Structure 1
């Protein structure tokens, strides 16, 4: 079983390398590149070989794309269309004259080299009528130096963002880089100094990494942005690759000094010592009258600020002492650590108003990270053993590497005294149990949404059992651990944490973890969780979703106290649909509901060996295999 998930990836990799023409070019300056580039707008190549996208004129655009398209999508009858891996490195410089520039530029991939893009916030890529259209097939990494209007949702006026068919970024981060000890260092895109950028996309893992740093800093080991995304639906088979830029009411000159690009491999490094330099703006020989007035105003403001500072310095020092941290030596060895002060500010000091709920391991708070504006969930776990904390962090860091579209990813951690804080992606629609059992949200889930959620959970669980580098048993599958994202996709949370938590608290004992009614019967004998025990819990989840009630309801009549017994009895009497959630009315597909109910019973059989694997469950749910009506059940 361990080798089977690898086969599709090998097929894809071999097909990608054999059926697509790998592209590999490097421009250390652009003197010899004029015939290979299509330039329009203000874009031109300077006399010493720098590619200039815009000048200091207002509200202009500039484009520079390869003259010929590049194959970016592998599309053959025998292989599902898949985006091809690529890597690019370039050095840019944004030079501003005056009190501030704009607007920015983007590395872009588009199905045409003649973009009909507007100036200002649109960076020459799109316009008011095309922004947000899925038919654009535009992928871009923006380097934005102006905070646009609210519709663009810019986090600040100095950021890097991932744009898909829209100038509203899927994800963005303030311009910065990580040092070797994972300290974040901010810097200005408009510094007037050269900046390196690395953009790498893994078409198999579907991970996009974006890294930037000042010219004199080697490539950081940790990217600024690491984003899970499938570019297959975005790319056409052939795409044009290049740069797009614009200015607005403020202007800057945007320069590209060197560029390297490669498909199906890592781009070659640029020869930094031989890159041409952009022309520097002329310096004023005298100070104007307006400048003198500005200096006077600034001096007055500085005086006022000093007075205000005198009153606030004591408060600042007290606040700083409260949030100060003393790191143990071992903490430096583990990546993805958040500073405690960031999480304290994100949750408004862990105020009760930000409390999302109480989970299996502790309280969960909603937070907004101060550096990025990203919404997150912060789980606060208390522990009394210092050694247990270290072991807990070690396993959590390992789990944080797991990425799947139906799993809630762990983004990082923090230790505060003997407490652990876990940071994960925020799910705006909360947990599945609130839609099934809480009165104010009951009835809001259609059958189509329920069926889609069940499929998503099954795929996430199959990934943990069979596709990741080692088998991960969830141990606590239940409706409250199924979270719903903005598109109502089901995503499993807390995967693997139950076992980690119990081992950290009781390393020398074997304790059954999980939630009553979801715990497989064999665990009371062996105490050892296996993938089959997750399948049992998933079977109970199937029944809950179809019936709209909890697995155990103490207020129900005797025959209906245990949901599994009630469903089994109704199936035996040939009246299976009596158990269907009455809130659905008749708005469901009979075949799908019967499949979910029967599959719930098959998964929750008492003997683990007769339960299907999660891969087989997915085949049943997708209709690839049929589940016999007369299948023998063992209870």
Structure 2
């Protein structure tokens, strides 16, 4: 009787966690790893190899033979049924992308009850840890500027240079990972969408976190490459200022980062918003460029935002950015947009986050 019960339990457990295969995977089968293989490279998913935790599950470090490549294995164990679409999107999107400023996806594994993704191991984790965490003093302006350019290069590749148009839809410092040399690489493509060049790349479902979501997403749930540019603009403002967009403590005029930057720009003191942890060790022209570019990219009117190719031209110094003074018209447009966003924030909360929300 005991033997029969044990056998039944073994069968149930095996059935629950057996690996799952579907027709769409035929094209991506070379990237599929067995669960046994991932169990080995992470040393049995031991606590000693645990490098991160999130709402999706855990991330483990592993060594992939025969090259001894260091990898990060994201083990999705929470809400697996709801996340399967994001999981598939990440495999389909990242599996063929190749760029020095994108985190490389090396493969995946599926079991009932678990989803696993293999990425480059990024020893310095995510950018938000440096900007808003205990490690924030360890990253200087030169490194921040190179990270900004790295994100921009990666987005330009996604929007214009790959075989299809890729809308990331979740640009934020938490999804920018840093390698051993603090090079910025864009990751987490669980919300990404692909389109043919020349087609109308508009998504129909809003995704992301409100502070980084363009006003048009909150109003009518339409998104395209321009909405990625908006999120990029908010992100580089945060990088330059060392704080999140919405900050509920402190002076009222500093509550929303966009309003504060515009106010200081209007007073001729735009550098006052720079991160105090930089202790003045920066190139004023570069910081000013990043701050004004951040406002330009996060303009409430999608048609007024630059493309990522224009952004790179400004950052590389090939083209001078238009010198538009923050007059009352510009201020009124930003203020109205911020009021709309804040109203939506209070009722919407987090619309959706990717599989790898870190």
**Native 8 Å contact 2:147 2:182 kept in 1:** yes
2:36 pairs with 1:367: no
Question: 1:380: how far off?
Answer: 2.3
Higher strand fraction (1 or 2): 1
Q: Provide the residue aligned with 1:503 in structure 2.
A: none
Please list the CA deviations of residues 29-49 of structure 1 after superposition, one character each: whole Å capped at 9, or x if unmatched.
xxxxxxxxxxxxxxxxxxxxx
Aligned partner of 2:318 in structure 1 is 624
Could you say which residue in structure 2 is the equivalent of 1:612?
Answer: 306
1:109-508 equivalences in 2 (<5 Å): 325-328=18-21, 330=23, 331-335=25-29, 336-359=31-54, 361-369=56-64, 371-381=66-76, 382-385=78-81, 389=84, 392-393=87-88, 396-439=91-134, 441-495=135-189, 497-499=190-192
1:472–1:359 Cα change, 3 Å: farther
Assess if the C-alpha contact under 8 Å between 1:347 and 1:354 holds in 2. yes
SS in 1 for 2:137: coil
Which whole-Å deviations, capped at 9, do the CAs of 1:437-469 have from their partners, x for residues lacking one? 112x12111111111110011000010001111
Q: Per the alignment, in what secondary structure is the counterpart of residue 118 of structure 2?
A: strand
Aligned position for 2:223: 529
Q: Please, what TM-score do these two structures have when normalized by structure 2?
A: 0.78
Deviation for aligned residue 1:575: 1.2
Give the distance between the partners of 1:597 and 1:324, measured in 2 at CA: 50
Q: Report how many residues are paired.
A: 306
Which string of whole-angstrom CA distances, capped at 9 and with x for unpartnered residues, describes residues 506-543 of structure 1? xxx95421123111111012213211111111111111
Higher relative contact order (CA closer than 8 Å, sequence separation 6+): 2
The list of structure 1 runs, each at least 4 consecutive aligned residues, that deviate by more than 6 angstroms after superposition, is: 321-324
1:322: Cα distance to partner? 11
Of 262, 277, 289, the residue aligned with 1:595 is 289
Q: SS state of the match for residue 554, structure 1?
A: coil
State the distance in 2 between where 1:447 and 1:478 align. Answer: 18
Tell me the SS of whatever aligns to 1:379.
strand
Residue pair 2:56, 2:79 contacting (<8 A) in 1 also: no
Secondary structure of the corresponding residue to residue 522 of structure 1: helix
Structure-2 change in CA distance of 1:416 and 1:574 (3 Å): same
CA distance in 1, matches of 2:234, 2:19: 45
Q: Show the 5 A alignment for 1:35-50.
A: none
Q: Identify if the C-alpha distance between structure 1 residues 332 and 627 changes in structure 2 by more than 3 Å, giving closer, same or farther.
A: closer
Q: Which residue of 2 aligns with 1:311?
A: none
- 2:5 alignment partner in structure 1: none
Question: Residue 630 of structure 1: CA displacement?
Answer: 2.7
Are 1:397 and 1:412, in contact at CA under 8 Å, matched by a contact in 2? no
Unmatched 5+ stretches in structure 1: 1-316, 501-508
CA distance 1:609–1:333, change in 2 (3 Å): closer
Secondary structure (helix, strand or coil) at the match of 2:191 reads helix
How far off is 1:370 after superposition?
5.3
Distance (whole Å) between structure 1 residues aligned to residue 138 and residue 60 of structure 2 = 25
Alpha carbons of structure 1 residues 422 and 437: separation in structure 2 relative to 1, 3 Å: same
Whichever structure has more helix as a proportion of its residues is: 2
Displacement of 1:559 = 1.5
Q: Give 1:385 shift.
A: 3.9
What displacement does 1:418 show?
3.9
Higher CA-based Rg: 1
Q: CA deviation at 1:349?
A: 3.0
- Label 1:360 to 1:567 Cα distance change in 2 as closer, same or farther (>3 A): farther
Work out the CA distance in 1 between the residues paired with 2:56 and 2:237: 25
Does structure 1 retain, via aligned residues, the 8 Å contact 2:234–2:245?
Answer: yes
After superposition, what is the alpha-carbon deviation per residue over 1:203-246, rounded to whole angstroms, capped at 9, x for unaligned? xxxxxxxxxxxxxxxxxxxxxxxxxxxxxxxxxxxxxxxxxxxx
* TM-score normalised over the length of structure 1: 0.45
Please state how far the C-alpha of 1:573 moved relative to its aligned partner: 1.5
